[in-house]
Structure 1
Amino acid sequence: MMPSFFIAHGAPSLVVEDHAYTDFLKNFAAHIPKPKAIVLFSAHWEQSIQTVSAVESYSTIYDFRGFQEELYRMTYPAAGDRLLSGQIQSLFTKHGIPCVMDGERGLDHGAWAVLKLIYPDADIPVVALSVNRYLTNEQQYEIGKALSALREQDVLIIGSGGTVHNLRQVKRNSAGIEDWAVTFDNWLQNKLETWDVEALFQYDKLAPYAQEAIPTNEHFIPLLLAMGAGDANRRAELLHRSYQWGNLSLSCWQFN
């Protein structure tokens, strides 16, 4: 069965950076079977109702400002998979999750910057999915869980976000890592490895430095979605964790 993954996407510049995390992502595909398709939840596609992309091929969205000019020339012309989109719609309906289809939107940088490092040839069909910050954490988990059957079909499920993602706190010239960011991530690691969903669903009240790490929850939601997709076996493994700019967490979790 294909694992599901949470992958931090950092800043848009991740795709042109050179460090331990980008090396990890460039070697990621060598350690799992080649998927038949990729289903990806991006923190940068927010909708009030669960939305499923149903496009023939994707345009590239440049949803950022002030970064290197070369980023605005990059493309990731992945194909969609409308049959898979329809299957996802059916799974959501079966589990009582309202959803709509979208036949126009391209891939935002939360999707294409990560995918370009992992699968640079853009030769695997992609179905992009939105996130909704106004649902409960339990509901987020259930959305991921509803798609868990896709893993048996060699479909790769990815949640793209960030566990410590507070752009007001980053220090671009910092060489060190701030203790509060590590403390939050260590708490998170313990709860994920023990699959303590009760604590995770209340992370904003229980985790140390939760407000500093996650001032708004849209980047944390993809972690719960990917975790929910791994509910059947409930095994979590931290594959990589590093930091940049003092506290921006770059991590990858595997759920199988």
Structure 2
Amino acid sequence: MNQTERLPTLFIPHGGGPCFFMDWNPPHAWDRMAEWLRAVPRLVGQRPRAVLVISAHWEAPAFTVNAREHHELLFDYYGFPEHTYQLQWPARGDAALAERTKTLLTEAGLPVARDDSRGLDHGVFIPFMLIDPRAETPVVQLSLREGLDPAEHLAMGRALAPLRDEGVLIVGTGMSFHNMGRFRRDNAVLDADSVTFDDWLTQAVTQPAAARTQALAKWEQAPSARASHPEEEHLLPLQVVAGAAGEDAGRQALSDRVLGSAQSAYVFGG
């Protein structure tokens, strides 16, 4: 890979628990999303030196960098088949990237901490078992910050932007619609709020950078915002990768229908 070539940033869906690795009812609910995740390396177009991942499933008092050399998996889902707690994905860390991430956040005046013990949560290993099944690329996970201030997460993304020119792929994993009480067993009738919010979100992402930043900072004002995200942790990784995108354009890379909800993935740059 040409290390001087800027990498895109991605917001990807991570599915529901270990959904891609078990039988589901209905049986093909997650197939299109899984197929798309397997194609992410082609979307990126080049192999990154390392991946920095921001997952919906880690919040900490400060933006916290997982600095483990060899990752364990954190099976932070409940009530699924026994074999889904035996999944393996032997990813390694990247000490230099962890330290560089800390430095960039510190220089930006953001609160930052280091963690040497936490495993990779399912918001990381479940989608990446499809994206990088052999765990060939080093991974560093970075937390959200408690309080979930969208402007602060956009600022965190901006601080991380130089990594894109250093061979690092910045990926946020969550879900563009995440209201557990409103998922259905089929797509016969789509949740109207999910469609309304998905339309707004795609319009926001594809605006010029200044307007995009303003819209994402005030996402709660969007139509059907709280109906789509009663809690915002599954959306905030999008703010991070949008912040890291700088002036680069954003576009919808996946438009899916899952369990009666509209679901999207987005790519910036590249």
Q: Which residue of 2 aligns with 1:45?
A: 58
Q: CA deviation at 1:96?
A: 0.5
Match of 2:200 among 182, 187, 192: 187
Q: CA RMSD in A?
A: 1.4
Match of 1:85 among 95, 98, 106: 98
Mapped pair 1:9 → 2:23: no
CA contact (8 A) 1:166 1:215 kept: yes
Q: Percent identity?
A: 33
Q: Which residue of 1 aligns with 2:40?
A: 28
CA contact (8 A) 2:63 2:112 kept: yes
Mapped pair 1:198 → 2:244: no
CA distance in 2, matches of 1:8, 1:250: 8
Q: Which amino acid aligns with 1:111?
A: V
CA contact (8 A) 1:14 1:22 kept: no
Q: CA deviation at 1:25?
A: 0.9
Q: Which amino acid aligns with 2:245?
A: G
CA contact (8 A) 2:198 2:264 kept: no
Q: CA deviation at 1:110?
A: 0.3
Q: CA deviation at 1:70?
A: 2.3
Deviations 1:54-99 (A, max 9, x none): 1010101110111233211101110000111011111111111111
Q: CA deviation at 1:175?
A: 3.4
CA distance in 1, matches of 2:248, 2:96: 28
Q: Which amino acid aligns with 1:190?
A: Q
Match of 1:211 among 226, 242, 253: 226
Q: Which residue of 1 aligns with 2:179?
A: 166
Match of 1:74 among 71, 87, 110: 87
CA contact (8 A) 1:133 1:218 kept: no
Q: Which amino acid aligns with 2:179?
A: N
Q: Which amino acid aligns with 2:218?
A: Q
Q: CA deviation at 1:173?
A: 4.3
Match of 2:188 among 145, 167, 175: 175
Q: Which residue of 1 aligns with 2:26?
A: none
Q: How many residues align?
A: 253
Match of 1:64 among 77, 94, 99: 77
Q: Which amino acid aligns with 1:236?
A: G
Q: Which amino acid aligns with 1:12?
A: G
CA contact (8 A) 1:13 1:68 kept: no
CA contact (8 A) 2:176 2:265 kept: no
CA distance in 2, matches of 1:228, 1:20: 28
SS of residue matched to 1:157: strand
Q: Which residue of 1 aligns with 2:244?
A: 229
Structure 1 segments unaligned to the other structure (5+ residues): none
Q: Which runs of 4+ in 1 moved over 6 A?
A: none
Q: CA deviation at 1:133?
A: 4.2
Match of 1:108 among 116, 121, 124: 121
Q: TM-score, normalising length from structure 2?
A: 0.90
CA contact (8 A) 2:75 2:85 kept: yes
Q: CA deviation at 1:251?
A: 2.3
Match of 2:155 among 126, 142, 145: 142
Deviations 1:137-174 (A, max 9, x none): 11110101101100001101001111110101111345
Deviates more, 1:67-76 or 1:3-12: 67-76
Deviates more, 1:92-101 or 1:128-137: 128-137
Q: Which amino acid aligns with 2:41?
A: A
Q: Which amino acid aligns with 1:69?
A: E
CA contact (8 A) 2:148 2:236 kept: no
CA distance in 2, matches of 1:175, 1:125: 41
Match of 1:240 among 254, 260, 268: 254
Deviations 1:159-207 (A, max 9, x none): 11111101011113453322221111101111110142222211112x1
Deviations 1:34-66 (A, max 9, x none): 111000001101111110011010101110111
Structure 2 segments unaligned to the other structure (5+ residues): 1-5, 23-29
SS of residue matched to 2:38: helix
Q: Which amino acid aligns with 1:13?
A: P
